[in-house]
Every structure is written in C-alpha cells, then in structure tokens.
Amino acid sequence: MAVSEAPHNLSDVVIANASVVHRNLSSPVLYEHAVRRGEGKLLQGGTFAVASGERTGRSPDDKFVVRTPEISEHVWWGKHNQPMTVDTFERVRGRILKYFKDRELYLQDCVVSQDPDHRRTVRVVSEQAYHSLFARTMFIPSKPLPEGQSPQLTILHAPFLRLEGETDGINSDAVVALNLTEGVILIAGTAYAGEMKKSVFTAMNYYLPLDGILSLHSAANVNPKTGQSALFFGLSGTGKTTLSTDPERLLIGDDEHAWTENGIFNIEGGCYAKVIRLSAEAEPDIFETTHLFGTILENVVFDEHERHVDLDDDSLTENTRGSYPLNSLANVYQQEVAPHPSHVILLTADAFGVLPPLAKLSTPQSLYHFLSGYTSKLAGTELGITQPKPNFSPCYGAPFMALNPTVYAELLQERLDQTGAQTWLVNTGWTGGPYGVGNRIAIQETRKMVRAILNDAFYGATFRHDDTFNVDVPVACPGVDQKLLDPRAMWANPADYDKAAADLAAQFRANFEQFRSLVSPEVAVAGP
C-alpha cells in the first residue's frame, strides 16, 4: 500500500521556518551536540546517559490513529488505536509547526526494513540531538533524500511542547498521533524515546500485512553452523532479548521482524533493551554494551562524579533502557534476509507458577497462544496491583498492532504451513508456587531448554500430555532436572497447584471469547 505525500511537503515547511536545521549529523557529532546542549552526560567508556523526564515509558492513553476513509475498515479500533479526527490532527500539527518556528532543529534521514524489497524511508525532525541520535541508532541510517523528495514516513518530534488536553482534542498534555494515510507521525509532550520506535513499528504493522507480509513483535537469531533461524515472541520481562542474544548464535534482532515467503528480516538497525538489574553473568553480551561508545542509556542512574552506572537502581523507573546499534554486539547476522525459522518460541512469564516451563505446540495451539499472548503483571509494576495478574496481549504486542490480531494469526498460519516450523511454549516465570512463594526459573535452566529446542534435541523424545493446559510436555531435557519439567511436582501441596492451574486455565478461556467466533474450530478448542 502506497503512502501519500504529506500536503505542502512537511520537511520543506519545517526547514524554511527553523532558525537552524542540522541535517543527518553522524553519531559522534550528535554526541557532541547533545553534551554541549546539556541533554545528557558522557559516562565511563563513552556511553551517553539521558533522562526522559516525567514520562519514563510509553503513554498508551495518549496514542491515537487518525481515522480516514482509506484506513477505517482496516484498523483495529479500540484502546490501543484510539481514533482521532482529521481536524484534531491538523490542529496538533499546526501547534507543532508553530512551535518549531525559529528553533534549532535536528533532521535525520533513515530507513526501516533490512530487506530492500520492503524498505521505507523515515525522516525524524526533533528539537533534541539526543532524539536524532536515537533515531539514527534504532532505525537504519541512509543517504539523505534528494531535496524536495518526501519521505514515506515523517516524524515531527516536539518533546517539550505541552499541549492543552481537551482544548486540543486529546487526553493530556502529550500526544502520539499516527496519520497512516499521509505517513505522518506527531509526538509532543513526551521525551521518552521509545515512542518514536514503537510508533514506526505500529505503522509497519499496518502497511506490511496489507501487502501479505507478516510483521512480528519478536526477536530472531541464526545458528551460524547450520543456517537455521528461530523466532522468539514475548512481552516485556519474559526474556525475549536475553534468550535471543546468545553467544552461540547470531542475532538478527531483538524486537521487530517480518516474515515473507522468502525468509525473515529485521525492521530495525538497533536494540532497545531493558537494562534494570542487568548482570555480566546472566547477559554478558548486552551487559557489555552498557560500557561502549554508541550506547544511549535512558533513565539509568549513575554516579555524577565517577560517572559509573548503577544498573540495579530503579529509583527513576523499572523501565531503564539501553539503545545500541546491532553491530555493537559480537555475534550479529550480517545478511539482509535470513532463512525461514525452523523453530518459533512463544515466551511467557507465569507468575502463578503453574504453566510447564516447556511445551510443544501444534499449529492450532500455536495460533491460540499467539492470539492469547499471555504473561503476568507483577505486584508493584502498576498502581493498584498487589497480587500477580494475568496479562493477555494478542500477538505478544497488542499496543503496536494496527490491524485485528486475527490478520496476523492468519498470516502466521500461512508461514507455519509453508515452512513446517515447530512452535514451542516456554515459561520463564515461577515454579514451586506463585510469585512470593515459589522461585523464578533460573535463566540458566531456561537457556538449556531453549538450546535443546534449537539443537533439535526433542525429535523422537517422549512427551506427556498436560490435561489442564492441553499441551505436550517433554519428559526429559538434556541437562535439566526432570522434576522441573513437571510444575505440579514442584509444589509442596499438589491440591493447591490444581486449584491455581484451573483458575488460570479458566482465565485463558474467558479471554479467548473475543476470538472464538473468528477462528477455525480447531483453533477455538486448542487452548486450556
């Protein structure tokens, strides 16, 4: 689907009215500008530390999609894609253009999608060097567009413009507004850099599937010896970045991918990893990036005098982040398109301690769990949550899905049928009891299970059927205590396990009612 040019060529309007426009500065120069302007501080090793202010994460209540006739029938309207009128969008755009007048601005031309057949141009215009550096890090730097040529996506980024909520037709003093017809994204009132990344991902989750390409909130890596690839789905806190960044494999990317008839490719050019309580022992490759030039550390606490970071300090936020180019890592896949995955891994962190740590899924079961997108919210992660709470996020990324989740599920079925890839459900959460009673499964044990999957260790293996969750669980896994594979055996009181497992299974069924009439009979009965 083509993206129309923005009226009046937005870039020309901005450039003509700004006092200074710094176009396509390199990363080292952007570092210099950001430090000179007091946007952040250089730390030991050359990393750059910044603070995003009062908003230290995405603002889902402030995200809107402009409802136009061209897209109205396609978009998954609701809490994740709130409709905005064209008039409101024009009002906000006018506010930003007026705000940009006579300011020093930074313009960065990039592209998204490593596969050149599906590449789109992105232009980011911001008032901060730090955000221009972030765009250059997370997207793919490109040659400047010829003068007068409009990019396919334009981001106008005004983090310090405070809007007026109801007066401006929005919910607060901040907004993230996507006009998918024009290919224009407006971000104002929030300096959290992840809004840029995820707004572009939302746009790609609209454009790509309408061209028959499955876009995925997933990580991906490749076995350098066999060339076999794997996909890792998972919400925040499930281990997607940690498990895919494996020194034994080549990382394709940690968050955003697409799957075509020819293979898989990364949409981005960088990683945006959570770094809270990161350790050299558990995550050596990612830990190393927190000490390298080229990494942006967002909302990470550091010593002002020694300029050392404290990755365990969550006083600013639990959502501390590190943004770094893919090539900062030692083991990175260098080709633009990787082979089809042999294995697809669905990650969850079950805080109730009842899901098996490893289960093999049929295709209908894969689609059921893909549409469910289950993990747990923990006590303390959100105001008012005092006990673990089930969190169902379709496609393992509902906030970024522009289309109905069944569109992505249908494309996933096509790819699974085409390739014969095997799907697995891996629980990285608790065992022996719920959060607060049991223990979280050690990352080293989960790595053993994942490596067994990727090394095809379960071909010909013996499985037992878990009647409560309707999945097949291997009886043994190389290097893993057999008892760990049976969550019921890990509980002190099996009757307590049975009740907790039945309760979670019932919540799966209740959540799936929204999709039951939209899927095949095989998928409808494939869950717990």
Name which of 505, 489, 350, 481 is nearest 432 in CA terms.
489
Distance CA 238, CA 96 (A): 37
Q: Assess whether 241 carries a catalytic annotation.
A: yes
**C-alpha Rg value of the chain to the nearest Å:** 23
Q: Assess whether 137 carries a catalytic annotation.
A: no
Q: Assess whether 245 carries a catalytic annotation.
A: no
Given the residues 27, 59, 68, 236, the one annotated as active site: 236
* Residue 73, number of CB atoms within 10 A of its CB: 6
- HEC profile for 103-119? CEEEEEEEEECCCHHHC
Given the residues 126, 202, 218, 241, the one annotated as active site: 241
Q: Assess whether 236 carries a catalytic annotation.
A: yes
Given the residues 67, 118, 197, 240, the one annotated as active site: 240
Distance CA 159, CA 186 (A): 10
Beta bridge partners of 391: 375
Distance CA 206, CA 70 (A): 12
Say which residue the tokens 């909302």 belong to.
Answer: 299
Q: Which helix (H) or strand (E) segment is 161 a member of?
A: none
DSSP, collapsed to helix, strand or coil, labels residue 251 as strand
Given the residues 254, 255, 285, 466, the one annotated as active site: 255
Q: Assess whether 58 carries a catalytic annotation.
A: yes
Distance CA 234, CA 290 (A): 23
Given the residues 157, 217, 343, 448, the one annotated as active site: 217
Q: What are phi and psi of 252, to 5 degrees?
A: -85, -45
Name which of 473, 487, 424, 508 is nearest 234 in CA terms.
424
Long-range pairs for 207-211: beta carbons < 8 A, 24 or more residues apart: 207/1, 207/3, 207/120, 207/180, 208/118, 208/258, 209/403, 209/407, 209/408, 209/411, 210/1, 210/74, 210/403, 211/1, 211/118
The separation between CA 524 and the C-alpha centre of its own chain, rounded to angstroms, equals 27
Name which of 483, 348, 335, 358 is nearest 422 in CA terms.
358
Q: Is the dihedral angle over the CA atoms 206, 207, 211, 215 positive or is it negative? A: negative
Q: Is the CB of residue 271 less than 8 Å from the CB of residue 241?
A: yes
Q: Assess whether 465 carries a catalytic annotation.
A: no
| Helical pair 194-210 and 405-419, crossing angle rounded to 10 deg | 70
Distance CA 208, CA 258 (A): 8
Given the residues 33, 198, 257, 340, the one annotated as active site: 198
Structure tokens of 33?
Answer: 């500008």
End-to-end CA distance of the chain: 38
Given the residues 321, 369, 415, 448, the one annotated as active site: 321
* Residue 311, number of CB atoms within 10 A of its CB: 18
Structure tokens of 511?
Answer: 């959540």
Name which of 227, 511, 496, 166 is nearest 369 in CA terms.
511
Given the residues 58, 67, 95, 340, the one annotated as active site: 58
Q: Which helix (H) or strand (E) segment is 133 a member of?
A: helix 129-138
Q: Assess whether 483 carries a catalytic annotation.
A: no
**Those residues with Cβ within 8 angstroms of residue 395's Cβ, 6 or more apart along the chain or in another chain:** 216, 217, 370, 371, 373, 401, 405, 408, 409
β-strand pairing of 270-274 with 358-361: unpaired
Cite the active site residues.
Answer: 58, 198, 217, 236, 240-241, 255, 321
